[in-house]
Structure 1
Amino acid sequence: MTAGLLLTRPEADSRRFAAMLPEFRAVISPILRIEPVAHDASRLRAARGLVFTSAHAVASAGPGRGRLALCVGGRTAQVARAAGFMTREGNGFADSLLPLIESAEMPLIHPHGRHLARELPVEGMVVYDQIAQPLNADARALLTCEAPVLLPLFSPRSARLLAAQTGESCAELWIVAISPAAAVAWSGPCSRQITAAGPTADAMAAAIRLMAGMEQS
């Protein structure tokens, strides 16, 4: 029995991730909607250095013009480079930014979402909100199927939001967490659970394939 794949990141992120796993039938139901909020755009555009813990914040800082951007991981760094920033990147975990911050030798601003998983020792500025969304009809239908459902968790907050909406699920839920923190945040039903080897899309895709392969072996 082929497992379904429920992707709940924002639409563009989910579509990009689904393209990495063409062998799965993916249902996309964003659990969060990204909405810009009013902020001091002129300060961000004048900042010599930025810290990005999400690609969603890059556009708020304006053109890079060769300015320094400390990025949490590869995807965020890719978006920042495309915007014209000179990037240094961590390993995907926020803690990996700490030595980069210490060595930057310039004032830094961290534009981020309203819901922040980890505070950093630099000035922060909220530039977008992550608004919770209900699962759509396709997702609810998938959760009533007899086939197992692979459910990737990309953050502790999304894990909590999804747990609150999947308590009545009839399907077996196979949980794939991007980090130990996301795994711990899950309190919903669970038939199987693993944590990816690292906080990257590639590691998550590998973990999903590993979980699906367990059923076939």
Structure 2
Amino acid sequence: MPSRMTAGLLLTRPEADSRRFAAMLPEFRAVISPVLRIEPVAHDAARLRAARGLVFTSAHAVASAGPGRGRLALCVGGRTAQVAREAGFETREGNGFADSLFPLIESAETPLIHPHGRYLARELPVEGMVVYDQIAQPLNEDARALLAGEAPVLLPLFSPRSARLLAGYMTDCRAELWIAAISPAVAQAWQGPSGRQIIAETPIAGAMISAIRLMAGMEQS
């Protein structure tokens, strides 16, 4: 197995998310090239600010709901819950999978609204509201150079849509890909070049970090 120091790390989430993730893997040379840009869209902001309960499947939606003021927020996982708590919400969190929100929704004793992006991986049994768009972006020059090189490239995949977009950008890829998917659904969405592949045990950042290090031979299974 090639040394971990020869492998590049290609991070394609929005800039802030990618920088935070790169900081958890300082041993790798990271190239950041977001394939999605988050852009707010017009929505009924007053209604969201007045809602007694919110469902958040992404931290990107939290700001759209305004100050928490102790309101209920059902959050898909730990990172989203952290952002919601910092905004002043009373949070209940799932395990990272959308399915884990269903019992939380059923047990909630207040009407709920789900602010979300234009592209939604999973419908929930509550009223939804689009509050941001996820606009596709091409890979930058540094990312293309990394993929055209001879060293392996670690490629974390965090959503079905980003997996599909990235697969379409791989026509000139020469590097061996080491793919870490955050869930089986994300792994299934990948239709790009084959390579080593691992699925995180749970859909959280810590599990993705462990999966990447395991793939690179830095942790024992």
Task: Sort the TM-score into its range (normalised by shorter chain).
Answer: over 0.9
Task: Quote the Cα distance in structure 2 between the aligned partners of 1:190 and 1:44.
Answer: 43
Tell me which moved more, 159-168 or 53-62: 159-168
1:49 match: 53
2:164 match: 160
Change (3 A) 1:196 1:165: same
- TM-score normalised by L of structure 1: 0.98
Task: Quote the Cα distance in structure 2 between the aligned partners of 1:17 and 1:215.
Answer: 18
2:192 match: 188
Task: Quote the Cα distance in structure 1 between the aligned partners of 2:107 and 2:72.
Answer: 12
- Asked if residue 179 in structure 1 is aligned to residue 211 in structure 2, the reply is no
Tell me which moved more, 32-41 or 162-171: 162-171
Alpha-carbon distance, 1:190 to partner: 2.0
Alpha-carbon distance, 1:33 to partner: 0.1
Alpha-carbon distance, 1:157 to partner: 0.5
- After TM superposition, the structure 1 = structure 2 runs for residues 69-108 of structure 1, keeping only pairs within 5 Å, are 69-108=73-112
Task: Quote the Cα distance in structure 1 between the aligned partners of 2:194 and 2:179.
Answer: 7
- After TM superposition, the structure 1 = structure 2 runs for residues 1-217 of structure 1, keeping only pairs within 5 Å, are 1=2, 2-213=6-217
Task: Quote the Cα distance in structure 1 between the aligned partners of 2:12 and 2:159.
Answer: 11
Alpha-carbon distance, 1:175 to partner: 0.7
User: Deviation above 3 Å: which 4+ runs of structure 1?
Assistant: none
Unaligned runs of 5+ in 1: none
Q: 1:128 is paired with a residue of what secondary structure?
A: strand
Deviations 1:72-100 (A, max 9, x none): 00000000000000000000000000000
State whether residues 72 and 90 of structure 2, in contact with CA within 8 Å, keep that contact through their aligned partners in structure 1: yes
Size of the aligned set, in residue pairs, is 216
Alpha-carbon distance, 1:166 to partner: 1.0
Unaligned runs of 5+ in 2: none
- TM-score normalised by L of structure 2: 0.96
State whether residues 112 and 126 of structure 2, in contact with CA within 8 Å, keep that contact through their aligned partners in structure 1: yes
Indicate the RMSD between aligned Cα atoms, in angstroms: 1.3
Q: 1:95 is paired with a residue of what secondary structure?
A: helix
Task: Quote the Cα distance in structure 1 between the aligned partners of 2:68 and 2:197.
Answer: 40
